[in-house]
Amino acid sequence: MGMIRGKRDAGLGGFYMTLLLVDDEFHVRKKLQNKVDWNALGIDVLLEADDGVTGYETALRHRIDILISDIRMPRMSGTEMAEKIRALYPDCVILFLSGYSDKEYLRSAISLHALSYIDKPVSPLQVAEAVKEAVSYCDHMQNSSIFASKIRESRLAGMLCCPKPEQEALLRLLTDCALTPLHFSDSRTILLQLLGPEGIPSGLASEITELFKQSGLRYILGDYRESFLVIHLLSDEGRLVSMLSRSFLHSLLQRISYLLKNQSWFIAVGEIAENIQELYHSYQSAVIALQQNFFLGTNTVSFAGERPADEFHLDDGFCKELLSSIKQKDERECFRLLDLLYKEYQGHPCTLVSVVRENYYLCLSQLFSHCISHHIAFGSASSKQLWDVIASAHTLRELHRVAVNLYQSYFDFIRENQTQLSVSGNIRRLVEQNYQNPSLGLLLLSESLGLSQSYISQLFKQETGSTINQYIISYRIDMASSLLLKTDRKISEIALSCGFPDQNYFAKLFKKCTGMTPTEYRGYI
């Protein structure tokens, strides 16, 4: 959500200043929005996001000068997001909010050279002072003669990506760059995204410059970032359409491909704009088209408006079918469903990439949840680690391969450990059937399974993380808890029916497990 606060005071440097506030706590964002006078501090546009993923997506649409972010957030941490935004905007000033002292997070934050660290709970006064310092720093950099030319063009490129740029600042930058609104009678935005860790090669800007000199096109090169490049193409006398033909782009791509021969990239071309006011829509259409590369694959070019506009929505029935197939160990059906999902998304390239990732995450969560609930020791990835693997996939094909590989590894594990899994499952089944028997224990289980006590003890501990006796007690306590709530039977009767011959022993174990006596539990719940 963006809020234009109005024109900055000329005494603050006259530059168009955008601040992004990212925090997963709504009340924190609301408090800072209402209690801080952003316009007085020199902020023209205030943007907000509720997590790191949304924050990064916002930065793809808007140039960010100052970032205020919580450090620890779901889906993507503040430091991860800040690193991605810093790749887009190296001179972006970073301010971190945190109530945590996690060394790993702080180490990452320090490596990003954050200007300030603001402790939670946040003080609007403290935030205002930090923002004031950040604005001052930005103004100093912007007024530096060394960076003036680059900043002017970068500012202009960024401002042209805004829906409603401040007109006075826009006209001033156009004049500084020797341009007028007439140069935008035919214009178009091109987005280049580098997918690897290497970043944009140093010679790419000069190659693009040379190419445009030969073509006679005017252009505005967006901030020359580590992984993202914005190019606004301009023309005189309606020449842009021919210049942005397939043949022209082929020439452009030949030069880019030569420099990026060892990297993966996406290119998206926005719609033609007839004037400067429409260039924002060209940029937005390029952003939308850029996500289509996710479906097309790496080293591809997408044009705005050339793909079907419908989306694919995953229904609950699909997830139920997938979970049922997992439970039945139906390998063929699981892969059939995953392939079906892949083909549906291939045919619906306008589906939000974030939605695609979330649905694949859901498919993998079904698998991992099943393993946890059935004590299958497959995989140890946390939710965050699982999401990081999904987020690292640049294309639909890569994402699908991640899911297929994990499912294949699961079924391979099942086949390799079938004996072990059946033993552990049989132990749980026997406990469920015989928990009322006071004699139920390691000896009885080993005799029933025809296996040694030491073998089943070691195996069960390895598979579940608990001993067999612990599991028996836990199961009996669960059954007793249910009877305490659902019946008015005497505690001594419940103890006996759950395999506890001694009421006092039962009460002692119950309090150890629940923190309450059976009587207290029945009354409290």
The residue behind tokens 């999401």 is 387
Cβ proximity of 78 and 22 under 8 Å? yes
178-303 carries CATH number 3.30.70.270: yes
Do 2-143 and 419-524 share a fold? Answer: no
| pLDDT beyond 60 at 193 | yes
| For range 261-282, the mean pLDDT | 87
Backbone angles phi, psi at 73, to 5 degrees: -145, 160
SS3 at position 397: helix
| For range 305-316, the mean pLDDT | 76
Lowest model confidence (mean pLDDT) among 40-54, 99-113, 415-429: 99-113
Backbone angles phi, psi at 508, to 5 degrees: -65, -45
Per-residue model confidence (pLDDT) at position 10:
30
Q: Provide the residue ranges of all domains of the chain, joining segments of one domain with +.
A: 2-143, 178-303, 316-414, 419-524
Structure tokens at 279: 């260039």
> Which superfamily does 419-524 belong to?
Homeodomain-like (1.10.10.60)
Lowest model confidence (mean pLDDT) among 269-273, 361-365, 380-384, 493-497: 380-384
Between residues 51 and 452, the one the model is more confident about: 51
| For range 96-117, the mean pLDDT | 62
Per-residue model confidence (pLDDT) at position 381:
65
The residue behind tokens 């490049």 is 229
Strands 187-194 and 265-269 come out as: antiparallel
User: Domain 2-143: which topology?
Assistant: Rossmann fold (3.40.50)
| pLDDT beyond 50 at 11 | no
Per-residue model confidence (pLDDT) at position 3:
46
Q: Which stretches within 297-381 are classed as H helix?
A: 316-327, 331-346, 353-373
The residue behind tokens 């402790």 is 119
| For range 487-506, the mean pLDDT | 91
| pLDDT beyond 80 at 116 | no
Per-residue model confidence (pLDDT) at position 13:
33
Distance separating alpha carbons of residues 290 and 227, to the nearest angstrom: 14
Backbone angles phi, psi at 502, to 5 degrees: -120, 120
Distance separating alpha carbons of residues 206 and 300, to the nearest angstrom: 22
Per residue in 198-248, pLDDT (tens digit) is 667 666 776 777 777 676 677 888 765 557 788 888 865 555 555 566 677
Q: Is 320 exposed, middle or buried (0-12, 13-18, 19+ CB in 10 A)?
A: exposed
Lowest model confidence (mean pLDDT) among 67-71, 168-172, 467-471, 489-493: 168-172
User: Percent of the chain scored above 70 by pLDDT?
Assistant: 82
Per residue in 240-270, pLDDT (tens digit) is 555 566 677 677 777 777 777 778 888 888 8
Lowest model confidence (mean pLDDT) among 63-72, 164-173, 184-193: 164-173
Distance separating alpha carbons of residues 291 and 288, to the nearest angstrom: 6
3-state SS, 73-112, equals CCCCCHHHHHHHHHHHCCCCEEEEEECCCCHHHHHHHHHC
Distance separating alpha carbons of residues 181 and 174, to the nearest angstrom: 8
Between residues 352 and 201, the one the model is more confident about: 352
Structure tokens at 24: 């997963």
pLDDT grade, residue 418 (50/70/90)?
low
Structure tokens at 316: 């609950």
Instruction: In the chain, count H helices and then E strands.
Output: 24, 11
Backbone angles phi, psi at 264, to 5 degrees: -110, 145
